[in-house]
Structure 1
Amino acid sequence: MSALARIPPDAAVATIAPGQPALRPNRLESPILPPDLSDEQVVARWLAAKATGRGRLAATTLAQYRIEAERLFWYAGKVGVPISNWTLDEFSAYIGFLQAPAPWAVRRSGVRRGSPDWRPFLGPLSDRSAGQTQKIVTSLFDWLRDVGYLHLNPAAGLPTVGRREPEKQARFLSVDDCALLREAVRARDERSTEARLGKARDLFLVDLFEHTGVRTSEAVQCAMGHVRIEPVPDALRREFPGAPPFQWLLRIARGKGGKARWVPCDEIALSLQAYRLAFGLPPVPAPDETLPLVLSVRRTRWGQWKGVRSRTAIWELVTGLCREAGEHARASGRAADATRLEQASTHWLRHTYAKGLAEGMKHGLDARAALDNMGHADARTFNQYVDDEPLKRALATWTATARRMA
């Protein structure tokens, strides 16, 4: 049952007072939607559109969109103004309501859906959550306008609640941290076959996340055949003097928002080959090889290698590596390194890769190439990684000051 179908009827829905002025008409007859649809039916089509096609939303994101639709219609019912007749005032009032709902709008803990006392709010939303709701509902109104159902978007031009410039990203691992990760893996005992295979696989995982910046969800979907070795044509070798004759590339078939991309992966070539040889595979993947990129150390009952098939499993593998490295560092008296490593995850290594790209931009890497490597659409997202070390910046300031005073 859809979120819209779950909205319970409420006898206490407010109605427009008889003397109140007529609502200003924003509703249109869309030329591309069936006639006589209700607001709920039109929004159900919006949700269906978000759930289909190559660019469809992830299941968790789609669930949040359904929650926002449910909240929206519940509130519209309470104020007695259909969303197709909302003006700037109604939309602004809704955003304000999210941050400070009336006591009657907040359900008690433990009240189940379907109860007369059920409400879609457990309390006021934080600025960040209210801002996310505003973003989703604004995109809904954009779509309603684009399909000709509304004349104008009542949310147009409003500043986003709680919007602020993102802080510089401090959750990353340094080159020394990544070296410590590898040191901890290499220090393992190899008495069993599974231990030997796990060591090769885990060394590859560190390289994969540090040197390609793939998201955990992308790593799950990658197959061995997504790694390609492409010859560099003469025209490009003239443009990039000294370039190698071949370039290793990794195909991300479905990134965020359903977008595909190729990521340079020369730096994982050696660990990939060692990893494949450890598993009894040829060192270089075949173009049509469907074996998952991240392998389990166990085989299926038919003797084939199994893949690590979930984001959670890969995340747990990498966070386990980080904890292992933390214990290794603590045992050798490096407590500060241990504390940082014990907090790290796959996304910290993605940030490490982004930091490397940001440094590369100082040495000629094109900003568009950096964004494409990360799978980012907005430069503001990538800018979180630029100059994000306050201690390094402090030392650079100290050096410049010392030179000036000399």
Structure 2
Amino acid sequence: GIRRLNENWRPFMLKESIASQQTLAAMFTALNVFYKFAILEEKTFANFVPVVKKNSPYLVVQSQIKIPDTLSDIQWEYVFGVTRDKCEQVPDLERNLFTLACLKGLYLRISELSERPQWSPVMSHFWQDNDGFWFLRIMGKGNKLRDVTLSEDFVTYLKRYRLYRGLPALPRVDEAEPLVHKIRGQGGMTVRQIRRLVQQSFDLAKQSLLDDGFTDDAEQLESATAHWLRHTGATHDAQTRPLKHLSEDLGHAKIATTDQIYIQTNIKERAKSGLKRKI
């Protein structure tokens, strides 16, 4: 080979690395746990991490209002509607349609639909009680099981998806078919594969939005992720469903978490009380 000098090579250039607030918070948490363990093992006599954290000039205490990332009404209408309309031309998009219905209509995380070592979502996880109400058993964060309620509208799309797969309209208690199937291969789908299905529907919707002149909505859709569908469904239903019911379907350990993210009661009351302030 020929020896050539690379003028852009800077092996000894110092690059300043600035940790994000999330990284700093994680570091303090890890150190706090470490020192608590060290105290139990009698390797140290005190834990100074809380004091250092409180007086740290680098850690910013978060107190701003956080709004969950959601799709607008028109964006969701296009994402779901365009996928549904194209199912006539491309039947395999029925899988996309069902995935969208699960993520938005059941407030699922994308991981809860995917195949995992300790949990494989199958059709028998849909079940019906004696009163005729349908539920879906899900394993969420921390390997916690919960039963999510199914709406009448969702059951309609469940039947549609199962008929497309050549299955009976409603699931049986002993059915081992994967919830979201692979076109090729056996078993359920991974997180990455399901994310691709969602992105495919996002791309179809984006093009249709551009064709219809909704440029801003199309550009905003570029930054959307599959998790936005969970937030979209919960934010929409928070206006009509009891907070406790919504919290249980979302899988939140505390009802205050649901209120803080989707209802924001304290924030709205604070805004109303300050609305008539005089200058």
TM over 0.5: yes
Please tell me whether residue 263 in structure 1 is matched to residue 143 in structure 2. no
Aligned residues of 2:243 and 2:255 also touching (Cα < 8 A): no
Which of 165, 171, 182 is equivalent to 1:296?
A: 182
Query: How many residue pairs align between the two structures?
Result: 249
Report deviation, 1:320: 1.6
**1:170, distance to aligned residue in structure 2 (A):** 4.3
The answer to whether 1:213 aligns with 2:107 is: yes
| Structure 1 unaligned blocks of 5 or more | 1-108, 112-120, 233-245, 301-305, 402-406
How far did 1:257 drift? 1.8
Q: Distance in 2 between matches of 1:323 and 1:286?
A: 35
After alignment, is 203-212 or 147-156 more displaced? 147-156
Cα pair distance change 1:135/1:278, threshold 3 Å: same
Q: Which residue of 1 aligns with 2:86?
A: 188
Is 1:340 the equivalent of 2:220?
yes
Tell me if 1:172 matches 2:52. no
> Does the 8 Å CA contact 2:69/2:231 hold for their aligned counterparts?
yes
- One-letter code of the match for 2:138? I
> Which residue pairs with 2:7 in the alignment?
none
* 3-state DSSP of counterpart to 1:273: helix
Give the alignment's Cα RMSD to 1 decimal.
3.2
Matched, 1:356 2:230: no
Specify the structure having the higher radius of gyration (Cα).
Answer: 1
Task: Check whether the contact 1:128–1:162 (CA below 8 A) recurs between aligned residues.
Answer: no
Summarize the alignment of residues 257-406 of structure 1 with structure 2, pairs less than 5 Å apart. 257-266=142-151, 267-298=153-184, 300=185, 306-360=186-240, 365-367=242-244, 369-378=245-254, 381-382=257-258, 383-386=260-263
Supply the AA of the counterpart residue of 1:226: H
CA offsets, 1:371-398, max 9 Å, x none?
Answer: 332222355643132359x9xx8xx98x
TM-score (norm 1): 0.54
How far apart, in 2, do the equivalents of 1:371 and 1:144 lie? 37
Task: Give the 3 Å change call, closer, same or farther, for CA 357–135 of structure 1 in structure 2.
Answer: farther
The correspondence of residues 108-123 of structure 1 with structure 2, limited to 5 A, is 123=17
> Among 126, 131, 155, which residue is 2:20 paired with?
126
Give distance in 2, aligned partners of 1:165 and 1:135.
Answer: 19
Distance 1:373 1:139 in 2: 31
Contact 2:106–2:148 under 8 Å retained in 1: yes
Q: Any idea what SS the aligned residue of 1:321 has?
A: helix
* Deviates most, 343-352 or 124-133: 124-133
Q: For residues 238-262 of structure 1, what are the alpha-carbon distances to aligned partners after superposition, in whole Å with 9 as ceiling and x for unaligned? A: xxxxxxxx21111112x11222211
Q: What displacement does 1:166 show?
A: 5.7
What is the one-letter code of the residue matched to 2:49? Answer: A
Question: Higher relative CO (CA 8 A, sep ≥ 6), structure 1 or 2?
Answer: 2
Distance 1:164 1:183, change over 3 A: same
Distance 1:148 1:308, change over 3 A: same
Structure 1 residue 338, shift from structure 2 partner: 1.8
Question: Residues 165, 360 of structure 1: CA spacing in aligned structure 2 closer, same or farther, 3 A cutoff?
Answer: farther
Give 3-state SS (helix, strand or coil) of 1:359's partner: coil
* CA distance in 2: counterparts of 1:189 and 1:262, whole angstroms: 29
Q: Secondary structure at the match of 1:314?
A: helix
Partner of 1:204: 98
Pick closer, same or farther for the CA change 1:125–1:343 going to 2, 3 Å.
Answer: closer
C-alpha distance in 1 between matches for 2:195 and 2:205: 15
Structure 2: state its 5+ residue gaps: 1-9, 116-120
Contact 2:137 2:147 in 1 (8 A): yes
